[in-house]
Amino acid sequence: MRENELIAAIRARIRDPQGVTGIGDDCCVWTPSGPTCLSIDTIVEGRHFTAQATPAQVGRKAAGAALSDLAAMGAIAKGAVVAITCPSRWDGLAIMEGLIAELQRHQCPLLGGDTTVGDTLSLTVTVWGEAAHGRFLYRSGGKPGDLLVVTGPLGGSLASGRHLAPEPRFAEGAWLAGHPAVRACMDLSDGLAADAEKLARASGGGCLLLPTQIPVHPDVPEISDPIAAAMQDGEDYELLAAIAPEHWPNVQLAWPFDNPLCVVGWLIEQNEMQMEDHRGRVVPLAFRGYEHE
Amino acid sequence: MRENELIAAIRARIRDPQGVTGIGDDCCVWTPSGPTCLSIDTIVEGRHFTAQATPAQVGRKAAGAALSDLAAMGAIAKGAVVAITCPSRWDGLAIMEGLIAELQRHQCPLLGGDTTVGDTLSLTVTVWGEAAHGRFLYRSGGKPGDLLVVTGPLGGSLASGRHLAPEPRFAEGAWLAGHPAVRACMDLSDGLAADAEKLARASGGGCLLLPTQIPVHPDVPEISDPIAAAMQDGEDYELLAAIAPEHWPNVQLAWPFDNPLCVVGWLIEQNEMQMEDHRGRVVPLAFRGYEHE
C-alpha cells in the first residue's frame, strides 16, 4: 500500500473532534483549555516486540505505552500523532487499526502522522493531555518518609506476552492526582528497582524497598525468582506513587479500585537505593531494572 | 554512550523556559496561551540522509524539517520533543547537539524525548507552536482564481546537499498569516508538482501551473532539466501560498523579504492538475513530485 493510500484509509477510520483540525494539513490544530502535558514514545521491532506479534498488537502497544505516560501524570488524553516506519512485510493499515482502537478506548483522537518506508518496523507516538483534577503529578514531588505504593502486581510481562497489551492506568492516575496526600507518581516501564530510583532521585533523595511486600503478578513463570521478576522485568505499566505517610490510612480506605494499593517501600533522605533483606536488615538494593544501552 | 549518560549530557546542554517542565518526567508540561498547532516528522538513514552526512547535519535536518511545518502554518515554535533510534556507529550526542542548535536558532526549547538502540538511525521530531498573527494558515483555505506563489527558488536540493539544511520560513510564514489576502499555505517538501496538488485538493479544486514562471534554484545541476528539477526534486522547504488575486499587487509591493514572491500558477475550480506548455496551451501537468511508496 502506497503512502497516500494508507493515509486515505486511516482518514476513513477516524473523525476529528469538533473545533479540531486533524490529519491532512502541515499541522493539526486544537485549542487547549489549560496546562498541557505531552510525551513521545518509540517502539522498534526486535527490541519492544518481535515478528511474532500481530500488527494489531504492535499498534496497540505503541499507543498504550505512550498513553501510560499521560495516565501517570494524572491527565486526560486530548490528542495523538504517530510516525510509522513500515517495511512492506508488515500490514501498515492493520497496525494503524490496532493503534486507533487503543486510542479510541481512551477517548484520544488521532490527529496526524507521518509515514516512511524502511527496513525495520518502528512506531513513534506523541500524545498529549490535560489535568484530570486540576494538577499534574510529577516524579519530583516526593519527600523523605513518603510511602511508595504500586497500583498492581508486577513481573512476567515479557514471558506472558502481557507487555504487548499495556493498560494505561488513567482512572487510577486521575484519582491519585485528585488526592492531596499524593506527592509524586510515574508509570513503571523499566521495572520497579530502576523506576523507584528515578522517582527517588527526581525527588532529591533515595529509597528503601521492601522486597517481600511487592505484589507479584501471576504471569511470573514458576521457574523464575518471583521477587527478582517483580523488581526487574519491566513493562508493567502500573503506577508508582509517593504518599504522605500520615495520610496513608485515609488513602488506603478511600481507594476505589479492585487492585489494592500496595506499599513497597518509602523515600529516604540519603541518596541511596536500599532494601530490607529477609532478616529485616537494611542492605544495598540487590536488584536493578532493565537498563537501556 | 548508554541511554542515561546521553540523557544527562543532553540535559546539561539545555535550559527549560520559565514555568515549563522539560526533560526528566513522564511528560513535559507547559501552559499554552491559545490555539496550538503540532506536527510530527521522521527522517531515516538511507531515505532522508546517508551515512555520508555528519551527525550534526542529521540533527539539524530532523529539527529543520519538522519546524518547517510550523512555519507553513504561520506559527511561532513553542516546544519540541525527539525520539531517536541510534545505532552505536553513530554519535548520538553529536546528532542531538545539531538538533538542539537548530531548535535554539528558532527559539524552540527541547522539552523531552525517547532514546532507543536500533540498527537504523532514525529521528522523529514532534514540534508545536502558536499563531504568530492571530490565525493559522491551512492548505484548505484557497479559492478558484487564487494565485499560487512561492517564497524562493526550487530544485537541486538533493544534488547540492541543501536538503540537509532545511531553512524553515518562519518570518515569511508569519508575514503571510498577517496578511488577510493570503488564504492558504503549505511548505514544499515533496516538490511543487505534488505539493501544489495537495493544496489544490485540500482547497476543493485543482490548479494550473506555469512551468516557465517557476524560479529555479542555482543548485540545480547544469545537466538537469531545470523546470523538471524545480517541479519534482522536493525538499525545498520554501512556502507555497494561495493569494486572492485582487490583492496580489498590494501583497507583492508590501513583501519585505529579499527573495521576491513568485507567481507559479493559480487555483482552478476543476479537480484537475494542468499546466501551460511552452506555446501557452493548457495541457495536463506533465510533472509529478516525489511520491512516497
DSSP string, A43-72: EEBTTTB-TTS-HHHHHHHHHHHHHHHHHH
| Element holding A112 (H helix, E strand) | strand A110-116
CB contact under 8 A, A112 and B31: no
CB contact under 8 A, A124 and B30: no
Proportion of chain A in helix, strand, coil states, percent, rounded to 5: 30, 25, 40
- Grid cell listed for B115: 532514546
Residue tagged 507547559 (cell numbers): B30
pTM higher than 0.90, yes or no?
yes
Q: Is the pLDDT of residue A289 over 90?
A: no
Q: List the domain boundaries for chain B.
A: 3-131, 139-284
Task: Give tens-digit pLDDT for B88-110.
Answer: 999 999 999 999 999 999 999 99
Smallest CA–CA distance, residue B281 to chain A, in Å, is 30
In sequence order, the β-bridge partners of residue B128 are B38, B79
Q: Is the pLDDT of residue A239 over 80?
A: yes
pLDDT at site B293: 41
Task: Give tens-digit pLDDT for B7-62.
Answer: 999 999 999 999 999 999 999 999 999 999 999 999 999 999 999 999 999 999 99
Q: Which residues of B touch A30 (CB under 8 A)?
A: 35-36
Q: Which residues of A touch B241 (CB under 8 A)?
A: none
CB contact under 8 A, B26 and A73: yes
Residue A114's CB is within 10 A of a number of other CB atoms, namely 24
Task: Give tens-digit pLDDT for B193-245.
Answer: 999 999 999 999 999 999 999 999 999 999 999 999 999 999 999 999 999 99
What CATH architecture is B3-131? Answer: 2-Layer Sandwich (3.30)
> Rounded distance, CA A283 to CA A289, Å?
17
Kindly state the average pLDDT of the residues A177-201.
97
> Rounded distance, CA B245 to CA B154, Å?
23
Positive or negative, the Cα torsion across B229, B233, B239, B245? positive
pLDDT at site A271: 95
Share of chain B above pLDDT 90, in %: 92
**Pick among A25, A76, A119, A291 to test the B interface (most B CBs inside 10 A):** A25
Q: Is the pLDDT of residue A292 over 70?
A: no
Measuring CA to CA, how many Å separate A93 from each of A27, B45, B49, B118, B290? 22, 23, 26, 23, 22
Kindly state the average pLDDT of the residues B153-161.
95
> Rounded distance, CA A137 to CA A65, Å?
18
- Grid cell listed for B202: 485540500
With beta carbons less than 8 A apart as the criterion, state whether A219 and A157 touch. Answer: yes
Lowest mean pLDDT among A157-161, A265-269, B141-145, B181-185: A157-161
With beta carbons less than 8 A apart as the criterion, state whether A146 and A165 touch. Answer: no
Task: Give tens-digit pLDDT for A3-17.
Answer: 888 899 999 999 999
pLDDT at site A2: 77
pLDDT at site A291: 54
Phi, psi dihedral angles at A59 (to 5 degrees): -65, -40
**How many CB contacts within 8 angstroms connect chain A with chain B?**
197
Q: Among partner residues A2, A39, A47, which is closest to B27 by beta-carbon distance? A: A39
- Rounded to the nearest angstrom, the gap between the alpha carbon of residue B248 and the centroid of all alpha carbons in its chain is 24
In CATH terms, the fold of domain A139-284 is: Phosphoribosyl-aminoimidazole Synthetase; Chain A, domain 2 (3.90.650)
Task: Give tens-digit pLDDT for B71-82.
Answer: 999 999 999 999
pLDDT at site B289: 64
Q: Is the pLDDT of residue A159 over 70?
A: yes
Query: Looking at chain B, which residue has its C-alpha nearest residue A34?
Result: B31
Mapped onto helix, strand or coil, the DSSP state of residue B70 is: helix
Closest CA to B142 of B191, B198, B204, B197: B204
> Rounded distance, CA A93 to CA A96, Å?
5
Measuring CA to CA, how many Å separate A165 from each of A57, A160, B20, B94? 7, 11, 32, 35
Mapped onto helix, strand or coil, the DSSP state of residue B121 is: coil
Q: What is the mean pLDDT of chain B?
A: 95
> Rounded distance, CA A178 to CA B8, Å?
32
What is the pLDDT confidence band of residue A293, given thresholds at 50, 70 and 90? Answer: very low
Phi, psi dihedral angles at B220 (to 5 degrees): -65, 125
pLDDT at site B291: 54
> Rounded distance, CA A146 to CA A101, Å?
38
Share of chain A above pLDDT 90, in %: 92
pLDDT at site A249: 96
What is the pLDDT confidence band of residue B3, given thresholds at 50, 70 and 90? Answer: confident
> Rounded distance, CA A73 to CA A251, Å?
18
Tell me if domain B3-131 and domain B139-284 are identical in fold.
no
CB contact under 8 A, A4 and B140: no
CB contact under 8 A, B44 and A75: no
Q: What is the mean pLDDT of chain A?
A: 95
Residue A283's CB is within 10 A of a number of other CB atoms, namely 11
Task: Give tens-digit pLDDT for A79-112.
Answer: 999 999 999 999 999 999 999 999 999 999 999 9
pLDDT at site A290: 58
pLDDT at site A288: 78
Kindly state the average pLDDT of the residues B235-263.
97
**Pick among B124, B128, B292 to test the A interface (most A CBs inside 10 A):** B124
Query: Looking at chain A, which residue has its C-alpha nearest residue B189?
Result: A26
pLDDT at site B290: 58
With beta carbons less than 8 A apart as the criterion, state whether B173 and B132 touch. Answer: yes
Smallest CA–CA distance, residue A276 to chain B, in Å, is 27
Measuring CA to CA, how many Å separate A146 from each of A123, A133, A195, A251? 37, 21, 16, 13
Share of chain B above pLDDT 70, in %: 98
Q: Which residues of B touch A122 (CB under 8 A)?
A: 85, 118, 122
Q: Which parts of chain B are beta strand (E)?
A: 28-30, 36-44, 75-85, 110-116, 122-131, 147-150, 182-187, 206-209, 239-243, 262-268, 273-276, 282-284
